[in-house]
C-alpha cells in the first residue's frame, strides 16, 4: 500500500478562512496524493489544532453525511479525492451536533475517511481529550467507540485502527484495537514541538508493543501561540522508522508491505505470550 502523509503547515492569525485552507489542502491532496492508495491529513486542520477560541465558528455539521452530503470544509477535499482515486483520511474536524452529548457539549473532534468516490466510509470521534480541564475537555464531548475497519480498495488488505493525537498516550486503546484485528494504526495529530520526543518515542512504542504499522500525520506551524512538532512518521511492525518528516510543511510518500505484519508476528511471536 502506497501512503502519502500531508504534514500541513499553517498559522492562526494568517487570515486563512476555512474555505481558503480547504482549497489549499485539496490542492495538496491532488499534487502529493496522486499515485497513492491512502492519503492522510492532520488533526483539526480546518479549525486550528490549538485554536480553541475558533472551534465553534469553524465547526462542521456532520449530520449532512446521512443525506449523502459533506460539510463545507470537506467538499474540496472530496473533489480532489475523486480525481486521484485514493482513500483519503481527512484528519479531523470540529464536529457540531444539534443536540448535546452526555456532558452537555455539542462539539466533538471527529475524523472522516473518504472512499475514492469522495464518500464517507468511516468516522471516529477522539476518545481521549487533551487539555487538562481546558481546551478539548472543556469544549468537546469524548468519543466512546473504538473503530477498526477494512478500508475500501485501493487501500484494502490491512485492517486499520483509527485514533487521534493524544489517544497515542493510552496504550490500552491500541491493545483493544489489536484485539479487533488492527494491523495499522492511523493517527492524525496536532502535537506540539515541546513534547515532540514523546511523540517520536510513543509512535515506535505503539508499533513495537502491538506489532502494527503506525502511520502518523502531524501539523507544522504555530497554532494559537503553540509551535507544532511536525515529525510525521511511518513505523513498521518491528519498530523501524520507514520515513520521518522534519519540522516544516512537508509530504511523505511511503510504501508499506501488507505481509510485514504477519511476518513480524510469526518471526517474533510475543503477542502469543499475553496473559489476560
Please identify every residue annotated as catalytic. Answer: 43, 126, 165
Question: Nearer to ligand LYUYDEPV by C-beta: 88 or 168?
Answer: 168
- Enter the C-alpha cell of residue 220: 507544522
CA 6 to chain centre: 11
- Give Cβ neighbours of residue 177 (< 8 Å, ≥ 6 apart): 146, 148, 161, 163, 185, 210
Shortest Å, Cβ 220 to ligand LYUYDEPV: 14
14-53: contacts with ligand LYUYDEPV (CB under 6 A): 43, 49
Does 192 help bind ligand LYUYDEPV (rule: CB under 6 A)? yes
CA-wise closest residue to 210 among 170, 152, 153, 156: 170
102-141: contacts with ligand LYUYDEPV (CB under 6 A): 130
Shortest Å, Cβ 108 to ligand LYUYDEPV: 14
Could you give phi then psi for residue 176, rounded to 5 degrees?
A: -65, -40
Dist. CA 138–CA 243, nearest whole Å: 35
Among 1, 165, 207, 261, binds ligand LYUYDEPV (CB under 6 A): 165
Does 2 help bind ligand LYUYDEPV (rule: CB under 6 A)? no
- Enter the C-alpha cell of residue 34: 496522486
Does 195 help bind ligand LYUYDEPV (rule: CB under 6 A)? yes
Give, for 52, the enclosing helix (H) or strand (E).
none
Question: Nearer to ligand LYUYDEPV by C-beta: 67 or 132?
Answer: 132
Dist. CA 71–CA 217, nearest whole Å: 22
Question: Nearer to ligand LYUYDEPV by C-beta: 161 or 192?
Answer: 192
Shortest Å, Cβ 135 to ligand LYUYDEPV: 8
- Give Cβ neighbours of residue 125 (< 8 Å, ≥ 6 apart): 95, 108, 109, 110, 111, 141, 142, 143, 144, 145
Dist. CA 265–CA 276, nearest whole Å: 18
Does 169 help bind ligand LYUYDEPV (rule: CB under 6 A)? yes
Number of residues this chain uses to bind ligand LYUYDEPV (CB under 6 A): 11
Question: Nearer to ligand LYUYDEPV by C-beta: 43 or 115?
Answer: 43
Shortest Å, Cβ 257 to ligand LYUYDEPV: 30
Question: Nearer to ligand LYUYDEPV by C-beta: 43 or 236?
Answer: 43
CA-wise closest residue to 29 among 5, 56, 53, 10: 5
What are the residues binding ligand LYUYDEPV (CB under 6 A)? 43, 49, 130, 165-166, 169, 190-192, 195, 198
Amino acid at each position: 500500500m502506497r501512503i502519502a502523509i500531508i504534514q500541513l503547515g499553517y498559522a492562526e492569525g494568517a487570515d486563512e478562512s476555512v474555505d481558503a485552507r480547504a482549497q489549499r489542502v485539496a490542492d495538496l491532496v491532488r499534487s502529493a496524493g496522486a499515485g497513492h492508495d491512502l492519503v492522510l491529513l492532520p488533526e483539526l486542520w480546518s479549525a486550528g489544532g490549538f485554536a480553541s477560541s475558533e472551534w465553534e465558528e469553524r465547526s462542521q455539521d456532520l449530520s449532512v453525511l446521512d443525506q449523502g452530503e459533506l460539510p463545507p470544509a470537506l467538499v474540496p477535499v472530496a473533489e480532489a479525492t475523486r480525481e486521484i482515486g485514493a482513500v483519503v483520511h481527512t484528519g479531523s474536524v470540529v464536529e457540531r451536533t444539534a443536540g448535546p452529548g452526555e456532558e452537555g457539549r455539542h462539539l466533538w473532534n471527529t475524523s472522516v475517511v473518504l472512499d475514492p468516490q469522495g464518500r464517507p466510509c468511516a468516522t471516529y470521534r477522539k476518545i481521549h481529550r487533551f487539555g487538562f480541564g481546558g481546551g478539548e475537555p472543556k469544549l468537546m464531548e469524548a468519543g466512546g467507540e473504538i473503530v477498526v475497519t477494512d478500508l475500501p480498495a485501493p487501500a484494502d488488505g490491512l485492517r486499520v485502527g483509527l485514533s487521534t493525537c493524544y489517544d497515542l498516550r493510552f496504550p490500552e486503546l491500541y491493545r483493544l484495537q489489536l484485539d479487533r484485528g488492527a494491523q495499522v494504526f492511523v493517527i492524525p495529530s496536532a502535537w506540539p514541538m515541546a513534547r515532540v520526543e514523546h511523540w517520536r518515542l510513543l509512535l515506535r512504542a505503539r508499533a513495537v508493543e502491538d506489532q502494527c504499522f503506525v502511520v502518523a500525520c502531524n501539523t507544522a506551524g504555530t497554532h494559537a501561540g503553540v509551535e507544532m512538532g511536525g515529525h510525521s512518521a511511518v513505523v513498521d511492525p518491528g519498530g523501524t522508522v520507514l520515513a520521518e518528516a522534519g519540522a516544516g510543511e512537508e509530504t511523505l510518500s511511503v510504501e508499506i508491505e501488507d505481509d510485514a505484519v504477519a511476518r513480524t508476528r510469526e518471526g517474533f511471536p510475543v503477542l502469543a505470550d499475553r496473559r489476560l
